[in-house]
């Protein structure tokens, strides 16, 4: 099973107790930005600025599975949700940023009612941050960047390293959608062990 904590799914999370963050919740924030993005016409040309900088505020989500193997329960899921702040220099064609203020929910896959994750409870704060590096616009509409960082909860240490593939959407590239590349998970560990499966997604909008 390859589940996805997308921004649309995050919109279903307001009923969960997200301790340590704004009462509006990261899930509600992601839902609002997803609704704005979904209102955009699909595809088409995106005109990004020729120069200047823009700061994007959004939500990052990681989903990991660990266990003996996919056919040998119990398989545990880890939902990891945090703030994302990216800065794009359109003149220099660079992208940087930080993801932080993470919350983590751990659950048994067998107990998951549906892929919306709306019934997850017991979200716990995680210390640490994930930093972008080597962010470069590969053309006027897309960019890639490395990211790396460790997050620590009372129970686990998550090493989340990988490459982000991003695209600009909307007039003046006011939205960013990004995800991990096809090798995401190769450099990710939970307590030093490689998870069975993983997914990374990000959505952000200019401030």
HEC-encoded secondary structure of 74-112? CCEEEEEEEEEEEEEECCCCEEEEEEEEEEEEEEEHHHC
Instruction: Report the predicted TM-score, pTM, of the whole model to 2 decimal places.
Output: 0.82
Q: For the residues 78-91, what does the mean pLDDT come to?
A: 93
pLDDT above 50: residue 11: no
pLDDT above 90: residue 172: no
Fold of 7-206: Porin (2.40.160)
Q: What whole-number distance in Å separates Cα of residue 167 and Cα of residue 44?
A: 12
Higher pLDDT, 170 or 150: 150
pLDDT above 60: residue 73: yes
Q: What whole-number distance in Å separates Cα of residue 85 and Cα of residue 60?
A: 9
The pLDDT confidence band at residue 27, using thresholds 50, 70 and 90, is: low
Sign of CA dihedral 65, 66, 69, 71: negative
Identify the helix (H) or strand (E) that includes residue 55. strand 53-66
**pLDDT for the residue 151:** 98
């Amino acid at each position: 099973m390859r589940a996805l904590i997308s921004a649309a799914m995050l919109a279903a999370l307001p009923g969960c107790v997200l301790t340590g963050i704004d009462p509006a919740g990261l899930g509600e924030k992601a839902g609002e930005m997803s609704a704005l993005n979904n209102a955009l016409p699909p595809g088409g040309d995106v005109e990004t600025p020729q120069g200047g900088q823009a700061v994007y505020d959004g939500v990052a989500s990681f989903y990991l599975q660990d266990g003996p193997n996919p056919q040998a329960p119990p398989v545990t899921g880890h939902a990891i949700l945090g703030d994302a702040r990216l800065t794009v220099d359109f003149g220099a064609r660079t992208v940087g940023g930080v993801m932080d203020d993470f919350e983590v929910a751990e659950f048994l896959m067998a107990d998951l009612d549906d892929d919306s994750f709306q019934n997850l409870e017991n979200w716990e704060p995680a210390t640490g941050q994930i930093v972008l590096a080597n962010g470069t616009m590969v053309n006027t509409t897309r960019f890639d960047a490395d990211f790396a960082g460790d997050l620590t909860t009372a129970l686990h240490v998550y090493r989340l390293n990988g490459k982000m593939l991003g695209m600009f959407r909307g007039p003046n590239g006011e939205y960013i959608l990004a995800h991990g590349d096809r090798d995401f998970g190769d450099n990710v560990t939970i307590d030093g062990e490689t998870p069975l499966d993983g997914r990374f997604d990000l959505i952000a909008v200019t401030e």
